[in-house]
């Protein structure tokens, strides 16, 4: 690969078998990487200690190889980099850009419902009403010292002041590129580290896209709004912003997003039913 060539990635979470939607994203990433003279990496986004399973990691590699997709080694497994995410998180905390939140989901729902307009984030979750922002530092320290369960939230207002500049990014679609203005404020004080691990999807993905030198992020439209938060984190952390393409989603016959929980057929099911990789490629427009 020539120096400076594009680097893409396919980044599934191993909490279910891959389905046609994953196949489309993986094939599109591979196709674009090839056409741009670059490469595509495979990243295993396994920060969820409960839902991620080693057998599903192996199944991802098997399913992708069956589709004809292989990736440069070593693969990045996020669960092996929790210390790096912790350091990144500590940096944001030290700069006053993140605070611990002791609220339960139920408390957040109840307080958000009571707040004017009951606003929601782009994923449909109630916007955090800011209960733990500005808690007395002494009391916070005591609760942390007691080991009280908590997430870490970005202080959105402080983060926007700190980023202090244009929060736009370049979106590409075929040969066309356009500037998109990111609006991270619509996420409110989003969780950047979960209760059980020192990161969230948002923090880990931004960290890893930079760590792996990703130049082009190609992922589903369901993550388009999250890019606003990612651009903000990149500015705060002094990381480069890749170009983004958010592709359309493969829907089931009811027009719903494919999901294991909705009983969507996995690639393994299709394989067992005698469907060939060529048929999958053709069905997804990669013949
Ligand atoms: N791990 C995420 C998922 O499986 C994708 C993350 C990304 O492409 O940024 O939905």
DSSP character string of 188-238: -S-EEE-SSSS--HHHHHHHHHHHTT--EEEEEGGGTTHHHHHHHHHHHHT
Residues 67 and 26: their CA atoms lie apart, in Å, by 9
- Residue 62 has which token pair? 């098997």
Torsional class of 237: left (φ above 0), alpha (ψ -120 to 50), beta (otherwise)? alpha
Q: Is the pLDDT of residue 159 over 90?
A: yes
Ligand 1 centroid to Cα of residue 13, in Å, is 7
Ligand 1 centroid to Cα of residue 135, in Å, is 33
Cα dist from 76 to 12, 44, 62, 238, 279, whole Å: 11, 6, 16, 22, 30
* Residue with CA closest to ligand 1 atom 4: 12
Confirm if 33 and 72 have CB atoms less than 8 A apart.
no
CA-10 nearest atom, ligand 1: 8
What residues are paired with 133 via a beta bridge?
Answer: none
Mutate to test the pocket of ligand 1, among 45, 217, 229 (most ligand atoms within 8 A of CB): 45
Residue by residue, DSSP assigns 82-112 as HHHHHHHHHHHHHTT-EEEE---HHHHHHHH
**What is the model's pLDDT at position 262?**
74
Query: Taken in order 257, 263, 269, 274, is the CA torsion positive or negative?
Result: negative
Q: What is the pLDDT of residues 5-29, one digit of tens each?
A: 999 999 999 999 999 999 999 999 9
Q: Is the pLDDT of residue 251 over 90?
A: no
User: To the nearest whole number, what is the mean pLDDT of the chain?
Assistant: 95
**What is the model's pLDDT at position 27?**
98
Rounded to an integer, the average pLDDT of 155-166 is 95
CA-43 nearest atom, ligand 1: 1
Pocket-forming residues, ligand 1, beta carbon under 6 Å: 11-13, 45, 205, 219, 223
Instruction: Give residue 38's pLDDT band: very low, low, confident or very high (50, 70, 90).
Output: very high
116 or 179: whose pLDDT is higher?
A: 179
Instruction: Give residue 264's pLDDT band: very low, low, confident or very high (50, 70, 90).
Output: confident
Closest CA to 8 of 40, 56, 31, 30: 40
Closest CA to 243 of 234, 254, 256: 234
Residues 177 and 249: their CA atoms lie apart, in Å, by 20
Residues 6+ apart with CB under 8 A from 87: none
**What is the model's pLDDT at position 70?**
97
**What is the model's pLDDT at position 245?**
98
Instruction: Give residue 117's pLDDT band: very low, low, confident or very high (50, 70, 90).
Output: confident
First to last CA, the chain: 25
Mutate to test the pocket of ligand 1, among 12, 77, 209, 234 (most ligand atoms within 8 A of CB): 12
What kind and span of H or E run contains 181?
Answer: strand 176-181
Task: Give the rounded percent of residues in the chain with a pLDDT score beyond 70.
Answer: 99
CA-209 nearest atom, ligand 1: 9
**What is the model's pLDDT at position 257?**
80
**What is the model's pLDDT at position 116?**
80
Pairing of strands 151-154, 191-193: antiparallel
Residues 6+ apart with CB under 8 A from 138: none
Tokens 């957040």, located at residue:
108
Mutate to test the pocket of ligand 1, among 223, 228, 245 (most ligand atoms within 8 A of CB): 223
**What is the model's pLDDT at position 197?**
97
Ligand 1 centroid to Cα of residue 129, in Å, is 27
Q: What is the pLDDT of residues 205-231, one digit of tens each?
A: 999 999 999 999 999 999 999 999 999
- Residue 23 has which token pair? 């196949």
Instruction: Give residue 168's pLDDT band: very low, low, confident or very high (50, 70, 90).
Output: very high
Secondary structure letter of residue 120 according to DSSP: B
């Amino acid at each position: 690969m020539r120096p400076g060539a594009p680097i893409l990635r396919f980044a599934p979470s191993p909490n279910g078998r891959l389905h046609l939607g994953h196949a489309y994203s993986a094939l599109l990433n591979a196709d674009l990487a090839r056409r741009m003279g670059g490469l595509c990496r495979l990243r295993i986004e396994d920060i969820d200690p409960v839902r991620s399973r080693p057998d599903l990691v192996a199944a991802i590699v098997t399913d992708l190889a069956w589709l004809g997709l292989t990736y440069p080694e070593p693969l990045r497994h996020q669960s092996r980099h929790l210390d790096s995410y912790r350091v990144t998180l500590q940096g944001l905390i030290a700069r006053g850009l993140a605070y611990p939140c002791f609220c339960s989901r139920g408390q957040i729902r109840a307080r958000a419902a009571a707040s004017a307009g009951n606003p929601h984030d782009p994923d449909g979750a109630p916007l955090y009403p800011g209960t733990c922002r500005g808690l007395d530092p002494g009391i916070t320290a005591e609760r942390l010292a007691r080991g009280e369960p908590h997430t870490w939230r970005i202080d959105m207002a402080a983060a926007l002041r700190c980023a202090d500049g244009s929060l736009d990014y370049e979106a590409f679609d075929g040969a066309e590129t356009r500037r998109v203005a990111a609006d991270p404020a619509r996420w409110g004080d989003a969780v950047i580290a979960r209760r059980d691990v020192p990161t969230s999807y948002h923090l880990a993905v931004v960290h890893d896209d930079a760590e792996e030198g990703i130049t082009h992020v190609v992922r589903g439209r369901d993550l388009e709004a999250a890019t606003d938060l990612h651009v903000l984190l990149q500015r705060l952390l002094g990381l480069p912003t890749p170009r983004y393409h958010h592709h359309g989603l493969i829907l089931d016959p009811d027009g719903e997003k494919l999901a294991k929980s909705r009983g969507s057929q996995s690639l393994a099911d299709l394989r067992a039913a005698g469907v060939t990789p060529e048929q999958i490629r053709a069905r997804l427009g990669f013949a």
